[in-house]
Amino acid sequence: MHLPDLKEARKRTKEKVIEKKVEYTFPNVFVGKKYFLRTYGCQMNMHDSEEIRNYLELLGFTETLVLEESDLVVLNTCAIRENAHDKVFGYLGRCKHLKREKPDLLIAVGGCMSQEESVILEIKEKHPYVDIVFGTHNISDLPRLILENKKKQEIEVYSIEGDVYEGIEYSRDSKITAWVNIMYGCDKFCTYCIVPYTRGKQRSRKLEAIVSEVEELKQKGYKEVTLLGQNVNAYGKDLTFVYDFKDLLECVAKTGMERIRFVTSHPWDFTEEMIDTIATYENIMPYIHLPLQSGSDKVLKQMGRRYTKREYLTLFQKIKERIPNVSITTDIIVGFPNETESDFLDTLDVVNTCQFDSAFTFIYSPREGTPASLIEDTIPMEEKEERLQRLNQLVNQYSLENNKRLEGKVVPVLVLGENSKDKNKIYGYTDTMKLININGSKDLIGKIVNVEITDAKSFSLDGVVAKESVGN
Ligand code: 5AD
Ligand code: SF4
């Protein structure tokens, strides 16, 4: 097994995508056994876990939320930052302990970390109690690996991707909202990011396959789909430009699915036509996650983001002007190697101009094998932490101000469930993707209701159901 180097991976972006069908022919020999599945990281991983859960249930396992009760542990891991690694290895310590008491316990590690050669070496050398390691390109091999259980460590990770699987079945977390993969991998190679190495080159699913998945979900009663990709605006670019993300959005909107969302956008590929399409269709939600990463042209260039501060601001303005009531959130990295105070002030300047609805903020974490990890960095960690605090303060201030402006307004909310802390309340998301807790009946779960916002905080809203508001 070896991981692709940058040059090899770039070359492969020209190759053709091969479509494969997943076979579902395994026996349910594990009836009565329990599995414990822990997922780290992004929505992509959470959706992969829905695929994993389906395989495990077809094998006969039932889920437990208590590690100690399990016969099989599956960790679906994330590699985006160092602390994600640390969490997984910390958790493996607990599993090792449990295996001493339960020697038949099966431990499987999958996800992005499994695609890193250094992690595989570490598991081989220091964690022999891990039974199975599988990667992001061969999730469908997991049932076979569990059935074979060779009583020795099995590592099956593909370093060469290229396949798009169709016909995948999921055991979905929700009966109301669903994730739909539109593409896998990423060709952007931002210099700090490990994703193009762990998830491979960009492979778009065919438009017809995506639309028929959405139609099927609609028939099953789903109210919302979120189209998933590392870089959704580049959708279709690897399919010899037959269609692009705008075409896909249009086709998905025409299925009549009540709510359509998509993540994550990249400013580079965001065209005016895409903005117009989002504005045109009422069932495409007015919410865009548009990572900024940095406001400094120098840092953006070093990051390989391929846009300038001015270009980002121009795009931001266009989106705000053309999509009524749109909410825009972002991702920001502080402390990229040698980021100066003046670079950081450029980032704060963009935050002050855009006044994002919310932002995920991170301290730069060097990832082995990425170009940025080779840059010698002179900025001390304390300075980076201090910048993060200043940034968070500003970001939270704007989140609160944006939310406060909504007080007294009536907004459509898709109700998702009961509030976990207060059983008299239900919760859902506004069209603009804001979490809202509502005084209302559980009968509204799964429905889109108009809600009057009574109170606003930085990270959530409170509301009451507006009169005569219940849709279908
Ligand atoms: N260090 C810190 N943050 C990172 N991200 C991606 N790679 C790194 C890294 N090496 C952040 C980016 C991205 C989000 C998902 O994670 O902001 O948009
Ligand atoms: Fe990573 Fe996103 Fe850049 Fe792709 S576009 S390399 S996933 S940060």
151 vs 460: which has the higher pLDDT: 460
The yes/no answer on whether domain 165-404 falls in CATH 3.80.30.20 is: yes
Interval 51-73 mean pLDDT: 97
pLDDT reading at 53 higher than 80? yes
Average pLDDT over residues 5-33: 67
Q: Which residue has the higher pLDDT, 470 or 95?
A: 95
Q: Which atom belonging to ligand 2 lies closest to the Cα atom of 193?
A: 1
Q: How far is the CA of 295 from the centre of ligand 1 (A)?
A: 15
**Which atom of ligand 1 sits closest to the CA of residue 370?**
10
- What pLDDT is attached to residue 11? 44
pLDDT of 9 reads 39
Residue 7 has pLDDT above 50, yes or no: no
Our answer on whether the CB atom of 196 is closer than 6 Å to any ligand 2 atom is yes
Question: What is the dihedral angle through the alpha carbons of 294, 296, 301, 302, rounded to the nearest 10 degrees?
Answer: -70
In this prediction, residue 24 has a pLDDT band, given cuts at 50, 70 and 90, of: confident
pLDDT of residue 6: 35
424 compared with 227, residue with greater pLDDT: 227
- Cβ(231) to ligand 2 under 6 A? yes
> Per-residue pLDDT for 172 more than 60?
yes
Share of the chain above pLDDT 90, in %: 86
**pLDDT over 50 (residue 305):** yes
pLDDT, greater one: 374 or 11: 374
Cα 144 to Cα 28, 347, 395: the distances in Å are: 12, 48, 47
Query: What pLDDT score was predicted for residue 4?
Result: 33
Token pair 């989106």: residue: 319
Q: State mean pLDDT over 294-317.
A: 98
Q: pLDDT value at position 469?
A: 59
Q: Give 206's contacts (C-beta < 8 A, 6+ positions apart).
A: 19, 239
What whole-number distance in Å separates Cα of residue 330 and Cα of residue 472? 32
For residue 292, which ligand has an atom nearest its CA?
1
Assess whether the C-beta atom of 426 lies below 6 angstroms from ligand 2. no
Q: Which atom of ligand 1 is nearest to the CA of 42?
A: 15
The pLDDT of residue 23: 81
In this predicted model, what pLDDT tens digit does every residue of 262-300 receive, in sequence order?
Answer: 999 999 999 999 999 999 999 999 999 999 999 999 999
- Could you identify the atom of ligand 1 that is nearest to the CA of residue 194? 7
Check if 266 has its Cβ closer than 6 Å to any atom of ligand 2. Answer: yes
Q: State mean pLDDT over 383-400.
A: 98
- Residue partners of 68: CB distance under 8 A and separation at least 6: 98
Q: Are 33 and 59 in contact (CB under 8 A)?
A: no
Task: Indicate the pairing of strand 177-181 with strand 224-228.
Answer: parallel
Query: What ligand has the least distance to the C-alpha of 303?
Result: 2
CATH number at 410-469? 2.40.50.140
Q: Which residue has the higher pLDDT, 291 or 137?
A: 291
Predicted confidence at residue 25, as pLDDT, reads: 84
Question: In terms of Cα–Cα distance, which of 219, 289, 278, 214 is closest to 252?
Answer: 214
Q: Is the CB of 223 under 6 A from ligand 2?
A: no
Task: Indicate if the pLDDT at residue 13 is higher than 80.
Answer: no
Q: Are 351 and 328 in contact (CB under 8 A)?
A: no
Q: Indicate whether 342 pLDDT > 60.
A: yes
The more confident residue out of 137 and 37 is 37
**pLDDT, average across residues 14-23:** 66
Q: pLDDT tier at 472 (50, 70, 90 boundaries)?
A: very low
Nearest ligand 1 atom, CA 372:
10
Domain locations along the chain: 23-156, 165-404, 410-469
Give residue 197's Cα distance to chain centre.
16
Over 80: is that where the pLDDT of 188 sits? Answer: yes
- Ligand 1 neighbours by CB, cut-off 6 Å: 80-81, 192-193, 291, 293, 331, 333, 362, 364-365, 367
The mean pLDDT value for 319-335 works out to 97
Query: Tokens 């040059």 belong to which residue?
Result: 7
Q: Which residue's alpha carbon is at the smallest distance from atom 1 of ligand 2?
A: 193
pLDDT at 197 over 50: yes
pLDDT at 1: 31
| Ligand 2 lined by 190 (C-beta under 6 Å) | yes
In contact, 169 and 24? CB cutoff 8 Å: yes
The answer on pLDDT for 17 being more than 80 is no
CATH superfamily to which 23-156 belongs: Methylthiotransferase, N-terminal domain (3.40.50.12160)
**Which residue's C-alpha comes closest to atom 18 of ligand 1?**
331
Burial 303-332 (b: 16+ CB within 10 A, else e): bebebebeebbebbeebbeebeebbbbbeb
CA 119 / ligand 2 centre spacing (Å): 21
- pLDDT beyond 60 at 15: no
Q: Give the C-alpha separation, 435 to 248, whole Å.
A: 27
Q: What is the DSSP string of 136-163?
A: SS-GGGHHHHHHH--SS-EEE--S---E
In testing the pocket of ligand 1, which one of 192, 231, 367 has its CB within 8 Å of the most ligand atoms? 192
* Strand blocks (E) in 259-384: 259-263, 287-289, 327-334, 358-363
Protein residue with its CA nearest to atom 2 in ligand 2:
230
The answer, yes or no, to whether any atom of ligand 2 lies below 6 A from the CB of 91, is: no
315 lines ligand 2 (CB under 6 A): no
pLDDT band at residue 470 under the 50/70/90 scheme: low
Report the C-alpha gap between 168 and 140 in whole angstroms. Answer: 9
The string of pLDDT tens digits covering residues 348-377 is: 999 999 999 999 999 999 999 999 999 999
Q: What is the pLDDT of residue 468?
A: 60
Ligand at minimal distance from the CA of 368 is 1
Q: How far is CA 463 from the centre of its chain?
A: 28
In the chain, the percentage of residues whose pLDDT exceeds 70 is 94
Closest to 317 (Cα-Cα) out of 292, 273, 354, 347: 354
Give the relative orientation of helices 245-253 and 207-219 as an angle to the nearest 10 degrees.
20
Closest ligand to residue 9's CA? 2
- The Cα angle at residue 65 between residues 61 and 68, in degrees rounded to 5: 85
- Write down the pTM of the prediction: 0.93
Across all residues in the chain, what is the average pLDDT? 92
The confidence band for 165, taking pLDDT boundaries of 50, 70 and 90, is confident
